[in-house]
Structure 1
Amino acid sequence: RLKDLNTDKYQEQIAFLRENHGFSQAHANALVMYHRGSRSSNKFGTPENYFKSIDPQTAQTIKKIFAAVTAKHKNLELVMAWNQPMLRLDTGYIVGVSVSKNHLTLNPFSADVLKLVAPRLKNYEVKKHTFRVPLDWKVDAALIRAMAKARIAEMTRQ
């Protein structure tokens, strides 16, 4: 927890979230700023408002990603966290998506989940806790479902 970190230095807080919890720079920044009192981290309010704010084709791709997961896991909730749409189970996140100029970044919130599906990610740019797909990605529903299933299993073991 940030309040237990015993530092008010922005860079140290960001590094803590990125290195220990796999946060992207944007997510870490949003959390640190919220921790410091900023309320702009709730910029969109709802996933619907978020989808209206981005390119329609990109929004459609993201909706297909989430639909692939919720078709099998109906108890997941689509929420906004750190100004990004995410699927949540109780208080834990299953998968989140962030939009960049030339790609989408998918985050299963677990390096172990990424390792599990690593052979299926060889055509993508994989980072420590995330991987990138094109904005107009033809959604690999089986891959997304496998990641979600593994993440849910991981969360229920904890």
Structure 2
Amino acid sequence: MPQRAFDSVEDYLSSLDPVKAKTLKSIIEFVLAQFPALESRISWNVPTIHLNGKYVLGLAAYKKHLTFSPWSTWVMEDFKERLGKYVVFKNCFQIPVDWEIDRDLVRDLLRARLAELGS
């Protein structure tokens, strides 16, 4: 059965169990509060954060974890040591569904991605 298409970030979040929705919403709210020039929307049917049409961050919910993607293999490589306690892939890492946001890590990842974009 195909997954339904989501019209908005709120629509995506409402499809999740409350714990996953709360965690993702907290990350999105933190990011937008720290970086007011960014905007959230649905791309590839998951929540994404953009700056002037460029991808800055992607988030997704799965059965047993969430993923956090700074849309950059270079940023991921630069943060490899700090991400050591997470399951790390080439362009994303897994976070627990009830993750207490590591605000310094999120802020630093976004600053690195924005610098890479020249913003």
Normalization by structure 2: what TM-score? Answer: 0.92
Q: Residue type of the partner of 1:88?
A: H
Q: Which of structures 1 and 2 has the bigger CA Rg? A: 1
The answer as to whether partners of 1:78 and 1:86 remain within 8 angstroms in 2 is yes
Specify the alignment match of 2:116 in structure 1.
Answer: 154
Percent identical: 36
Specify the alignment match of 2:104 in structure 1.
Answer: 142
Structure 1 pair 54–93 and aligned structure 2 pair: CA distance change class (3 A):
same
The answer as to whether partners of 1:41 and 1:82 remain within 8 angstroms in 2 is no
Structure 1 pair 41–82 and aligned structure 2 pair: CA distance change class (3 A):
farther
Report the alpha carbon displacement of residue 79 of structure 1 after superposing the two structures with TM: 0.4
Aligned-partner Cα distance in 1 for 2:67–2:24: 10
* Higher relative contact order, structure no. (Cα contacts within 8 Å, ≥ 6 residues apart): 2
Residue 124 of structure 1 pairs with residue 98 of structure 2: no
Which runs of 5 or more structure 2 residues have no equivalent in the other structure?
none
Normalization by structure 1: what TM-score? Answer: 0.70
Aligned-partner Cα distance in 2 for 1:89–1:117: 21
Aligned-partner Cα distance in 2 for 1:48–1:100: 17
The answer as to whether partners of 1:108 and 1:130 remain within 8 angstroms in 2 is yes
Specify the alignment match of 2:29 in structure 1.
Answer: 67
Report the alpha carbon displacement of residue 41 of structure 1 after superposing the two structures with TM: 8.9
Query: How many equivalent pairs are there?
Result: 118
Q: Counterparts in 2 of 1:9-158, with a 5 A limit?
A: 43-156=5-118
What are the superposed Cα offsets for residues 30-75 of structure 1, whole Å, 9 maximum, x if unpaired?
Answer: xxxxxxxxxx998111111111111111111011112222222101
Aligned-partner Cα distance in 2 for 1:72–1:53: 26
Aligned-partner Cα distance in 1 for 2:70–2:17: 23
The DSSP-based 3-state class of the residue aligned with 2:42 is: strand
What are the superposed Cα offsets for residues 69-117 of structure 1, whole Å, 9 maximum, x if unpaired?
Answer: 2222101111000110011001111111111100001110001111222
Q: Which moved more, 1:64-73 or 1:117-126?
A: 64-73
